[in-house]
Amino acid sequence: MSYLVLARKWRPRTFTELVGQEHAVRALANALDAGRVHHAFLFTGTRGVGKTTIARLLAKALNCESGPTSTPCGKCDACREIDEGRFVDLIEVDAASRSKVEDTRDLLENVQYAPARGRYKVYLIDEVHMLSGHSFNAFLKTLEEPPPHVKFLLATTDPQKLPITVVSRCLQFHLKRLPPGLIVDRLAMILAAEKVETEAAALPLIARAADGSLRDALSLLDQALAFGGGRVGEADVRSMLGTIDRSHVLRLVECLAAGDAVGVIAILTALDEQAPDYDQVLVELAAVFQRLALEQVVPGSAGDLYDASWLAAQAARLGADELQLYYQIALMGRRDLGLAPESRTGFEMTLLRMLAFRPAGPVPAPAPAAPLPGGAVRPAPPARPAPAAAGPASAVAPAPPALASTTLPGTAAAPSDWPSLLQQLDLTGAARQLAANCLWLGEEAGVIRLRLDRRSELMRTPQIEERLAQALSRQRGTPTRVILEREEAPADADTEGADTPARREARAAEAELATARVALEADPTVRALRERFGASVAADSVKPNR
């Protein structure tokens, strides 16, 4: 007797046996029981999630002698013939091999004829997106108004390629990828029924490798049974899938937690002897970090893939910030692996990054703040790192001096540094641009007067002015009103030199750029290139190093 693969042997025979896809099963069952079955259905989703299985179950439910019903008997001639794949009124079409318009026309010629055995003639068209544009055009009219004895069941892994005119004529069900837990439960049930010796730790490996596809999981299970000689063991499955022994990854985590560089390199050397897929090793490593982070937040909730006591011990050794950093480095390492000279080198550098970098320490408390007019508080300027050595092209001009206090006729004194006050306001977008193009005139009785740069008049709207007033009120802790005055051209003598923050920034940027250009022109290498090759500097390419 020929061997029947597990994916076919354990194909669901009723809706209740279907794994997952409850949203589709519920809708179909209700429609069948109410007698409100649409004439065309579209099932979408990735490979192996149950598209054709649900379509066949629907065909069985429509043609069961006791139906239409959501619980076909499975014993009548129609049910048995559909299960065996020989029901004459279930026409299964592979659109990938019959994509021409002539094939579609031949198929539709028989639509008008009544079913030979069943209640309905059911057309199941798999990978329907493979039909040509002309085929879809020939199919549209029949799909929209088929004879009452015809049902169309369409399945595809790529619904984006379907014409919207086809999609709009169908009831669409998107089938979800199955979570690993559901796949593990289904595999365990099948292995128990098959009386196969199994190590429980092997099943999650198969479920993860299946990537949401139950059919792929059953195919891998068949392969594991052949590889393991009729049993399913963790070591055999790891060897078959090309994954490494989990103990290596766990020891890596222990050495990283202890900062043991010698231990990390020793484990890496042992790993290299197995010629592993280093991308998969990083996947395993990131998975462990994720489980440890989950263990720290909700103890005991990290599942049964790892020993609970080991998880608890490592979660206590590592800080939450360290785990987040390690997880991020592992993800970045996967991205950079293809750019490394060798996979082993890229993986090694990823581990060295984990050893070399630690989360930053606590942020020091800010210095005492100085008061601003009206009770506002100006925070101390943030600490700035020491500038790195810069080349000629990145020379930076010194920052301009702080804005001096300015008193205009008929106003109160302005703050010594309006740009600093502006930095404290929680403003973004157009409101911040407007504020940056204003000059402080003064404040009196909760009213702040600002002078708007005449070149920025188009930015002014009541809504933006209101946002600026609200931001000043929040920052100062007291209701504040803003009056914007328009700058006249030219600026009068009283305001000369008292630039808006935007003007100051533009002037500083110009100074930085000019200094960088001068330094670049004086660079010996640039001068040598000019003299020897007649080279010239593209002015637009010079950028200061900020």
Same structural domain, 102 and 233: no
Is residue 262 domain-resident? no
Same structural domain, 327 and 416: no
DSSP-assigned beta bridge partners for residue 370: 378
Q: How far apart are the first and last CA of the chain?
A: 77
- Taking the C-alpha atoms of residue 371 and residue 497, their distance in angstroms, rounded to an integer, is 24
Nearest of 330, 324, 318 to residue 257 by alpha carbon: 318
CATH label of the domain that carries residue 328: 1.20.272.10
Same structural domain, 222 and 336: no
Structure tokens at 216: 């792929």
Same structural domain, 406 and 438: yes
Same structural domain, 432 and 329: no
Same structural domain, 45 and 187: no
Same structural domain, 209 and 62: no
Is residue 223 domain-resident? yes
Is residue 530 domain-resident? yes
- The domain in which residue 14 lies consists of 6-174
Same structural domain, 200 and 158: no
Same structural domain, 434 and 465: yes
pLDDT tens, the chain, 546 aa long: 577 899 888 999 989 888 888 999 999 999 999 989 999 999 999 989 999 999 999 999 999 988 789 999 888 999 999 988 889 999 998 888 877 888 888 888 888 888 888 899 999 999 999 888 888 888 888 888 889 999 999 999 999 999 999 999 999 999 999 988 899 999 999 999 999 999 888 898 899 888 889 999 999 999 999 988 889 998 888 888 877 777 888 899 999 888 888 999 999 888 888 778 888 889 889 989 998 998 888 887 766 567 788 888 888 888 888 899 999 999 999 999 888 888 889 999 999 999 888 776 544 444 444 444 444 444 444 443 443 433 433 334 333 333 333 334 434 544 557 788 888 888 887 788 888 888 888 888 888 888 888 877 777 888 888 888 888 888 888 888 888 888 776 544 444 445 788 888 888 888 888 888 888 888 888 887 887 777 778 777 777 765
Number of domains observed in the structure of the chain: 4
Same structural domain, 18 and 115: yes
- Taking the C-alpha atoms of residue 305 and residue 300, their distance in angstroms, rounded to an integer, is 12
Same structural domain, 51 and 170: yes
- Taking the C-alpha atoms of residue 220 and residue 202, their distance in angstroms, rounded to an integer, is 11
- Taking the C-alpha atoms of residue 253 and residue 349, their distance in angstroms, rounded to an integer, is 15
Structure tokens at 304: 């049964």
For residue 397, give Cα distances in angstroms to 32, 91, 250.
78, 79, 52
